[in-house]
Chain A
């Protein structure tokens, strides 16, 4: 049974080498996989819905719960013997759903708890009599409704771009149009690739090139992962991240060693050397605000890269394969390599990134601490140009405007500039083109507002980068 329980949906934390934790606590089976020894009870809908199932044998009074019945029986002043319950060992009871079309109608999927079967019956097959006043969501079970009412409306939704919403529908609509969406897809694509990697149990990078299967299998995954956006439990971002850690955990299970999770600049350059221009014709990058990388992206690639440690040399080739596959199959991992490579690109990338890179390189050479504000919207690209590879991860981590836990200063300035950039995208573009030959700092690189760089950036945070 222990094996059965483990395979039944337990999430294992990646523990290298040790046995699974000893099952001291009561094991939880998959709902509806009952003990084969149990007695199967089939109740009619009428009985199921009856509220007073527990009858006093003395006076025939009915009670909703067994405890209530016992309390009542005490009042009858029964002699000692009869106070006890019947001596015979009560066989474990499981209940089937009376609804014929239901999965739980069959004894093999019976549910173990009377309350459980009652709730199930109401939820799935019953009339939804209870309605939330605030959001008009309907429930068949009163306790569900009560639980919902407590949290309804109290929950806030947060988009990757940092905006808060109290309304789910406006959050969803915003999300769909938000520039931060670009990054999300990248994360998703990469993570889902990890998922299939783990499932396959090998390092076939070719899998990455497979078209993202949006058949029924995947959607479940996505829907579940993105439920935090719509559920009422935790902050959307946190749960999404947790979701990804889940995937990471599974992924690493299939791998021999986790290895280091940071990417060295060299590895990134390997990524970057692949010509992104030919890989993606996606104008998304040029038009949307170049999103800063969420550190999770780093995790994803960290795992993938490190798992190929033994084949480091092949890393370039193997990764180039899926990426070129991507080209044929459509832009899947598009955003990811582009994010890495925008700073390294060459002629084929949109002019925006090109001049950004040129200037960044120049800036790096000069070791300027000031930055052109036109780059601040592309924090990711800027920081990735740092010479210090070890700091890479940190840079990415601290740079993301969406990460609430890190570098709030940075985040604020990033947000401001991102928004500014967003609004002034076109003038900014032109500016960069003109400044291509200019130095990284100085008068020429005054931003479109005519404000100097320092005014917009927190010097402390900039210094922290170099």
Chain B
């Protein structure tokens, strides 16, 4: 490792990607060498990076780091960053990089990406993890390789997925965090109340929680009162979930329903290119059934311009209740403003990663897998054009208020009863502190789950 600053900038570029995973280093090899004058700019960052670098004890820390740090020690402490805290460095660097990309400042882009690359790690602390996943997305944006990256990520994910691993993952997540169970409890409560007394129920489930919502509903149907209705559950599967997983799930659901003594029918609809293709016939909705449509993290997967049509399609099914659960973030209204979109994306995932960090143990494998699951979403939102067919999926979240505007076109809101609110509160009590239930503002509907006072998940119920 060379000592002079000028040369370092060149050499380190080569080393920059070296001890990262091979994906990164391959990408780096395509890039031009950093201009010499960037060394000055590097100095600006030096104290920040040096302190952070030393503080984080990266596994890749080799002699390269020390030599570099000795180079830049002169710049220590000058730019006002408190040395030694290293807190939230990822946020600053990432935002800077996003701005640089928006401004098309290629040299700045390069060196920021390089810096992030040095500091990021999917196995480190929150900052390092965020840096790692967002770096990937920023890189894809800068090199316009988002599509390719997504394809790779998907194939990797599919290889490692199995029913066992998915089950373990989601059940563990639900055990330590009410992120998903919040929506389940509220939605189930609304569904039970809306369909009370109906003999034939048909629930159309479009969700990403692998049917973990339904055992408690089945149990409630069985024990609530003397007449147990017949339940038909039609699950709409989007491309991600492998069909073998659904097969296992369907078997378990059927068995469990038998155990509970609930007459049950389970159907899976898969192979759709996008949700808008659904029809009443395709879903098998019969005239004498009381229909409920349940969407958990589903609406955001539909392309933004197709969302109104989807809601109209739901209306055409004539449901008694529609329950919607979505995460509270806005990647939709800002989709033409990269920096703004980036900022909210970063805010949301920072909250999510910090939540995971607190809820899981430090060495939890499940936490790691959940973090990895985010990578596709982040790359999609930041680095893929919506016009392209992103494997048929979108991840442009909208806030509850925005969804409400859309849903009001076809439905009117239904408030959650006190009983349901009580159930949710009781649920939250069963988890660690930090979680709370928040009522919406004046003219808004639904309920919010908050984590450390920040709204993270929104649930709502609608009727025609």
Contacts and interface: CB of A to CB of B under 8 A. Distances in A.
Interface of A: 131, 134-136, 138, 167, 169-170, 172-177, 181-182, 184-185, 188, 212, 214-216, 218-223, 226-227, 230, 282-284, 287, 422-423, 425
Contacts of B262: 214, 219
A136 B426 contact: yes
A169 B427 contact: yes
A221 B261 contact: yes
A223 B261 contact: yes
Contacts of B171: 170, 173-174, 177
Given A136-B425, A175-B215, A422-B164, 15 more contacts: A170-B174, A170-B175, A172-B219, A173-B171, A176-B214, A176-B256, A185-B255, A214-B258, A214-B264, A215-B263, A219-B222, A220-B226, A222-B260, A223-B223, A425-B164
B168 to A, nearest CB: 8
Contacts of B247: 283
Contacts, number: 97
Contacts of A181: 252, 255-256, 259
Contacts of A425: 164
Contacts of A176: 214-215, 218, 252-253, 256
Contact of B261 (A175, A222, A284, A422): A222
Interface in B227-258: 227-228, 247-249, 251-253, 255-256, 258
B371 interface: no
A223 B181 contact: no
A34 B343 CA distance: 73
B259 A185 contact: yes
Contact of A222 (B249, B251, B259): B259
Given A172-B216, A173-B216, A425-B164, A222 B425 contact: no
A282 B256 CA distance: 15
A376 B27 CA distance: 47
B261 A218 contact: yes
Contacts of B228: 216, 219, 223
B222 A222 contact: yes
B224 to A, nearest CB: 10
B422 interface: yes
Contacts of B261: 214, 218-223
Interface in B393-447: 419, 422-423, 425-427, 429-430
B258 A212 contact: yes
B430 A226 contact: no
A284 B251 contact: yes
A162 to B, nearest CB: 15
- Contact residues on B (Cβ < 8 Å of other chain), bracket: 35 or more
Interface in B255-314: 255-256, 258-264
Nearest to B429: A134
Contacts of A282: 251
B56 interface: no
6 contacts: A134-B426, A136-B426, A185-B255, A218-B261, A219-B262, A222-B222
A172 B174 CA distance: 12
A280 to B, nearest CB: 12
B320 interface: no
A219 B252 CA distance: 18
Given A181-B252, A422-B164, A223 B260 contact: yes
A176 B258 CA distance: 11
B247 to A, nearest CB: 8
A422 to B, nearest CB: 6
Contacts of B163: 287
A354 B219 CA distance: 37
A226 B259 contact: yes
Contacts of A212: 258
B48 to A, nearest CB: 43
Contacts of A175: 215, 256
Nearest to B185: A169
B5 interface: no
Contact of A188 (B218, B252, B258, B263): B258
Q: Nearest 3 CB-CB pairs, A to B?
A: A219-B261, A222-B261, A176-B215
A334 to B, nearest CB: 10
Contacts of B429: 134
A219 B175 CA distance: 29
A138 B263 contact: no
B299 to A, nearest CB: 24
Contacts of A170: 171, 174-175
Interface string B163-205: 1100100010011000001000100000000000000000000
A197 to B, nearest CB: 19
Contact of B430 (A167, A182, A215): A167
A214 B426 contact: no
A175 B218 CA distance: 12
Contacts of A173: 171, 174, 212, 215-216
A230 B256 contact: no
Contacts of A134: 426, 429
Q: Residue among B163, B219, B247 with the most chain A CB within 10 A?
A: B219
